[in-house]
Each structure stands twice: as structure tokens, then as C-alpha cells.
A and B are shown apart, each in its own frame.
Chain A
């Protein structure tokens, strides 16, 4: 026993090397997370002191019509925001990556960069640029559509209840389509040439090569992209705040969980912030994301077939 202990001393270097990451992650992620969960169990009394109320804040959020209507509205909007991303952003990203990875394409590096650039722009810039483009007064969109004879089809999309959320989702798609494109592009490049050559030997070329050979090989990457989109969308806030303000107009049709959380936590104009209800909303958001990620990890990812090259 003592013999063995002398042979294999405690490996301190593991602790030492892990320590910085563990400490920083604990300080800036884990402690605030539990702080938020803890905050949601309290409320502020009349005299300003904190009192423990258990799950009463959650009961208010789901049981009181004034809270729950706004919450479910935000959740529904957020879901639609996510669906648009899944239906538009990811297929376009995959298509762009597939086109970029064809060896015959000229200026591929230029296109790749140009499509990726919006993803590194600030939300503030993207929000204002699109607001100006779509402005019915000075925007290029109405002028451009007039020139094409489509002037009557123009509408102040960001100001209409029916179209505002979809418009914002598409702006967000425009901004972030570069990210799935890059990830898929990298995945496509990592497919070994032997596999593709073998496919060609079997007579599978062109589009059917993409559907039958490449797509199954990049499915794990598509899964990762879906989960990144899910987490990103359910945490989104900036674009809505920049273009529509904290009230997420018109008539809260662009209100998503992030903007709802902001209004609740920090207040707005004459409405004072309520950190405890805000923390409650944040906790529910955390739960939604946790459930979504878990479904993916345990339900989808374990079933994906992986190929070793």
C-alpha cells in the first residue's frame, strides 16, 4: 500500500492546471447562477427588507393572468423566432457551405468573408442599419421596390403587428447565417477525399453525393448548430431592444423572453425594477434552455451515428 503511494504520488499538477478555469468559471458563472436562483425565492417587503417566500414568485408568474399572459406571449414569440432561424438560417447556411466547398468555385474566400462579416458586427449597428433600410420615410427598401414596380408591396414591416417579429427574425438570420455556414464548411472540408472518391467510383456524384454522402457525415455538426441556435435565440435580447425598445412594440408582438426579463428586472421609465420577479423569469429561462439542451443531448445526440475516419 505505502509502496504504491510512493510510486504514484498525488498528481498536484492536475489541480494546479485546472484551478484557474475552475475558479474563474465558479466566480463568474456558477455563483451568479445560484445567486439568481436564490434571489427568485425572495421578495421585498414594504419596509425594504428581503423576505423568503419559497415558490410564490413562480406561482405569480404562472398563476396571475397579468404576468402569465405576458410570459406566454414572450415564450410563444421566442419559439417563432427560433423556428424562423431553424427553417431559414440553418438551411441557407448549409447550402452556402455546400456551394463554397465545391472546388470549382472562384472567389470562394471573398464570399466566405463577405457572408461572415455581419456576424462580427455589433447588434446596435445591425439594428440601426436595418431600421434605416426599412424606414418608410428615408429607407432604401421603399425606393428600391418602387424602382422595381413593387412599390405597393412595401409596408412598414417593423411597425405592423403581423410582420414585426418575422422581420426581426430575418434580420437576425441575415446577421448570423455566417456562423452555421462556417461550421458546416469546416465539417465538409474534414470529410476525407477517399470517401468521396469511393462514392464517385460507385457513380454517386453531384447533388446525390451531397444528400447521400456528405449530409449524413455532417449531421452531428448540424445538431450542434441547432443547439447553438436554440440557446442563442432563447437568450436573445439585443436586437429587439435596439430596434423596438424595451417595450418590444408594436403591442408586445416582438417581446421575447430576453426583453421581458429586462423590463421585469430593471424596470422601464416609471416602472421600478423588481429583481425578485426578474430572477424568477431568469430562472424559468434557464430551465427552458436546460430542458431544450437536455432533450438534444440525451434524445438526439446519443442516437446520431458517428463515423470514424
Chain B
């Protein structure tokens, strides 16, 4: 420990020496978003370098599937870049606990983020932050606006209206009411349960109650989303039991299905494939006038390598991530991945605008089982995939599904015992 401190002090001295010589500092950025490489090189990096002379950025992405292991070994070996793109929740928390990510609690830019945005990169008690929130994805329903016009339908706001719309599309018969399958299971949980659920358990309130052990998964507010999911099966296409995620995407973009339960991350892909107008509506509420809750799921953050010799420059960069300049650049370059800062953002894509506008009308929450609750075995998040798919397929009743998940959670999570 002392040896390490001495090296760090030595490094700090060396650092201040180089800084005095006013040489350019180059920050290397680790990321899994190799899809975004041209956006970084052509838009984000030039904008930052123009505003901050003396700091250069080098964006070095790795393939997504290898990112976690590659990053871990680079950090262990001391060869990782200065800035690290953070996965949400436990993967990054583990790095922080090992002392490989710097504590960013006192970073000025942190003031630009809400607690929900920060929750993915905070310690369990919320006292320390180790990554700057960067992007989230919002869940909702994307619909074929041409089909809605043709059938004279309007965006539903309540659950009853939602099923009335589905009935109307089914009665007309020219479109499959909803494009979703249960073969890959995760859609059922992510685009089904986690999408419509926050309206029942009142977003953060229910999620935190679950973590604190004050609510159980067998409580009415956690069973009700399953009950709605069970009704969905009548409106999914023929053979939805073996329909996969790409099947559903194709069904919708080919114009054969009217509604697609999903999220904002689809926008860029759908824009290039669909030749009809698209609209989006948030998950319907139970009664007209209820507060709406949306799943605004934190997905990507950026942190500082604790061993980085360029910590000051790194902090400057991380502060800039909270500015409205970065937020606007990023949001428009990657429509559907929304910046998490409170800065004002103008979006060009109308569908993306629609999604992000819900943040003003509704309360944000994240997917219910991602924080803390999925640390044990059986893994609650994975289990929710299976139970949600079972409920839609009719293989399990909503009450059984909830009971199974509660029993699994209670088997290892002390506050639920």
C-alpha cells in the first residue's frame, strides 16, 4: 500500500512536470461501442478538442462481447486507457471496489444528473459515484402511424384504451396487432414486464421498496403486470411461441404488424428499414389521469481509470460530458441513446423527440431487477425472462410466476427473508 502511494506521488510529480512543459495530454478512451467510432472521430472528439486546447482524445473501442474481460485484464496489467466506458451496475461497481476506478463524487459535473441517472454507478448506499452517466434507453411502444391512420385509431393512454386499440386491429385483420415473440425470452421481460410494470409499482418507489424488503414480488403491484402480459398473447402473431427478436423487428419494419413493444434503441435501425411513418406512446396507465412512469434505463457511463497519470485532464473531459454541447451532439448522432444529464437537448429525430419528451410528463425509473437484486443465485433478472415468457405463452399463471420469483429472491437476499 505504501509502495503504491509512493509510486503514485512520484507519478504525480512527474505529471506536474510534464504539465508545466505545456505539452498536449492524450486521453485514451476504452469503450465497447465500436459502432460509434466514426461519430467519436468525426463529431465528438473535434468538438471537445476545439473547446479544450491541450487535451487530445483517442477513442479505442473493443468488440462488445470481449469488452468486460479485456478491460479487466488491461486494468490489472496497468495498460488500460485513461477514460473507461462503464457498464451499468455490478460490473463497474466491482472495478470501483477493487480501486481501479476513481471516486468521482466530488466532480462538478455530477450536479447535472438526477439520482436515478446516477444510481447505476453509485455504491449501494448512494454515497459515492464512480462513473458519469452517459446514455439511457427509454421503453415504450412504437407503432405504425400509417396503419393507425388507416384504421382510424389513436394512441392509447390507458390500459383499457390499449386493449381496445388491439381489438380494433385484430378485428380489421390486415395487421398483426403486436409484434413480439417469446422464443428469446428477454423481450418478454424487458419489453413486456419492465416496460409496462413501472406504472403499477410506481417506478422508483416500488423498486426501492423491493430492495429494502418492504414489498414482495407477490404483492398486487408486481403481479398485475404479469396479468396484463397474459392478455397480450391473443394479439401476438401466429406462432409467436417460436418467434425470435429479429423476426419481430422484421415483422414490424415490413409493415405487417401495427404495434411493437420495445424501446428507443430501435430508432436508428427502424429509420433505415421502415418506409412508413412511425409514432410512439408510453406504457398505458391504469386509469385516465394517473401519473405515468417510464423505464428510462441507464445503460452507459464513463469513469476515470484510478491509475491514470492524466487525472486532471480526465476530469475536465468527464465534466464536459455533462454539458449540453455533448448531450446534443451525442443524442443526435445516436438517436435512441439519450443523454442522462439535465442539460437542455434539442433532438432532430421526431421519434427520438417523442421518447425523450416523456421524461417531462412521466416519472423515470430503471429496470426493476438490475440493481442489487440480481447478485445472487438464482438470478432474479434471468428468472424474470423465463417467467415473463411463460406467462405470455400461458405455461404459468401470473400468481405462480410471481411466487417463483419471490421464492428465488428470498432464498439469498436477506431483506426479503
Interface residues of A (CB under 8 A from B): 66, 131, 134-138, 142, 155-161, 244-245, 247, 249-252, 268-272, 274
Contacts and interface: CB of A to CB of B under 8 A. Distances in A.
A271 B382 CA distance: 7
A249 B183 contact: yes
A160 B181 CA distance: 12
A57 B90 CA distance: 25
Given A161-B395, A271-B379, A156 B239 contact: yes
20 contacts: A66-B378, A136-B240, A137-B238, A155-B239, A156-B240, A156-B241, A157-B242, A159-B239, A247-B385, A249-B184, A249-B185, A249-B389, A250-B393, A252-B386, A269-B381, A269-B382, A270-B89, A270-B379, A270-B381, A270-B382
Nearest to B376: A271
A300 to B, nearest CB: 39
Contacts of A252: 386
A155 B243 CA distance: 12
Contacts of A251: 386, 389-390, 393, 395-396
A62 to B, nearest CB: 16
A270 B370 contact: yes
A268 B382 contact: yes
Nearest to B179: A137
B411 interface: yes
A233 to B, nearest CB: 23
Nearest to A157: B242
Contacts of A66: 377-378, 408, 411
Most B CB contacts (10 A, CB to CB) among A66, A245, A250 go to A250
Interface in B377-417: 377-379, 381-382, 385-386, 389-390, 393, 395-396, 408, 411
A135 B237 CA distance: 12
B112 interface: no
A223 B322 CA distance: 69
Nearest to B241: A159
A262 to B, nearest CB: 13
A159 B180 CA distance: 13
Contacts of B239: 135-137, 142, 155-156, 159
Nearest to B248: A137
Given A135-B242, A250-B241, A159 B183 contact: yes
Given A66-B411, A250-B393, A271-B374, A245 B382 contact: no
B182 A247 contact: no
Contacts of B238: 136-137, 156
A245 B239 CA distance: 18
Leading 4 A-B pairs by shortest Cβ distance: A136-B239, A159-B241, A159-B242, A271-B379
A158 B393 CA distance: 13
A247 B184 CA distance: 9
Contacts of B241: 156, 158-160, 250
Contacts of B408: 66
A136 B411 contact: no
A38 B222 CA distance: 43
B251 interface: yes
B247 interface: yes
A135 to B, nearest CB: 7
A252 B370 CA distance: 22
B117 to A, nearest CB: 20
B243 A136 contact: yes
Interface string B218-244: 000000000000000000011111111
Contacts of A161: 393, 395
Contacts of B244: 131
A210 to B, nearest CB: 40
A146 to B, nearest CB: 12
Contacts of B396: 251
Nearest to B188: A249
Nearest to B408: A66
A155 B238 CA distance: 9
A137 B386 contact: no
Contacts of B378: 66
Nearest to A268: B382
A57 B297 CA distance: 36
Interface in B310-350: none
A252 B383 CA distance: 11
Nearest to B379: A271
Contacts of A158: 183, 241-242
Given A245-B184, A245-B185, A249-B185, A135 B379 contact: no
A271 B412 CA distance: 14
Contacts of A270: 89-90, 369-370, 374, 379, 381-382
